[in-house]
Copies of this chain bind each other. A is one copy, B any other.
């Protein structure tokens, strides 16, 4: 068989590519502190399994292609409470935010079309683009100004006749940036001016710190975006339910609805009982989300303080999500990550992070950077960063 150029052009996930090394480390008896993947250690609200345990249908049957009504209604209510009025017709259940992104890319881009993103960005955006023959047009942002956006004219200059969408993560992954209202208005003006889609990945919406609000402002609150906006959402981070694989794609653009529906029909439907559980997740009391937010703020503070103590290491100052980008005094962060798993341990413990160059469109950029997920409890984060510091001291490829 001949393998497609398309799939050959796709890179292995930087977040997961080192998994074989981690598995080998564990097989050798090491404990690995996972700072590489955004997998929270917080308990999933019990409502999820409780509702599933009660599920009594004798046939686990196909559901509706666009999703089951209890879940769609729950999503509708969630947004209503935040001042955003979506009709049932605007909301489509997907297999995680991942599939919502795939539907958005598929619906807006033909092969050769471009999607503007701000780098460093979530590595799988490149994968989704490549799956459908689209190209990522990445505009660089810098830790020097907290990964905030460049000016409007600078962004506008990067829009080409092939541009079909701006894909923005807010709060940002891996940067932890929370865009200002002014930045959101700039983006909104540009998508309307150039008739682009605005794919707003807002899965970390509740993970905001240091601001007045406990929730990130949504692009869904900006009126001029009704025809442009595609919201990507998910239960994964909000409810520590990453293994549930339930998200949604939301848009008021009526022309888009029928096309999303066809994407849904192609794969028939999302899993029935995951939707039962996900609908129950949306009944989780607000206090749960408040507690989670407090915990993550504490973790953010913990890891920031711990990393600040490491000589030669600098880090971003995240205001949202649960990642930060660190610059390491090493030749190559991926080599360092592998070395740390293969050759390093203290008391049979080591640490894993995601090499940073995978979050840039050019793999030669960010080679000494890493994305660190502060998804463990504070004591474990302190231990993990301690291990990172010791690994840096011992690593032969250390540069300063």
Contacts and interface: CB of A to CB of B under 8 A. Distances in A.
A283 to B, nearest CB: 16
Nearest to A112: B111
B267 A2 contact: no
Contacts of A157: none
Given A41-B59, A128-B266, A243-B271, A16 B108 contact: no
A227 B244 CA distance: 34
A16 B65 contact: yes
Contacts of A53: 52-53
Contacts of A262: 7, 10-13, 127
A64 B16 CA distance: 9
Interface stretch (A94-102, A333-341, A361-369): A94-102
Interface stretch (A42-50, A73-81, A138-146, A303-311): A42-50
Interface of A is mostly: loop
Contact of A266 (B8, B65, B131, B197): B131
Nearest to A128: B266
Contact of A111 (B65, B133, B195, B243): B133
A62 B42 contact: no
A228 interface: yes
Interface in A205-254: 227-228, 230, 240-245, 253
A272 interface: yes
Given A4-B110, A7-B259, A60-B241, 20 more contacts: A1-B108, A1-B256, A3-B256, A4-B106, A4-B107, A4-B108, A6-B106, A7-B107, A10-B259, A12-B258, A19-B64, A37-B62, A39-B62, A44-B58, A49-B60, A52-B53, A53-B53, A96-B267, A98-B268, A245-B268
Interface string A21-64: 00000000000000001011111100011001101001111111
Interface residues of A, number: 88
A60 B273 CA distance: 14
Interface string A141-161: 000000000000000000000
A106 B7 contact: yes
Contacts of A42: 59
A12 B58 contact: no
A65 B20 CA distance: 12
A375 to B, nearest CB: 10
22 contacts: A1-B256, A2-B196, A3-B107, A3-B256, A4-B107, A4-B108, A5-B110, A6-B111, A7-B262, A12-B261, A12-B262, A13-B65, A13-B262, A16-B265, A37-B62, A43-B59, A61-B242, A63-B243, A95-B267, A96-B267, A131-B132, A273-B277
Contacts of A10: 259, 262-263, 266
A358 B157 CA distance: 45
A201 interface: no
A332 interface: no
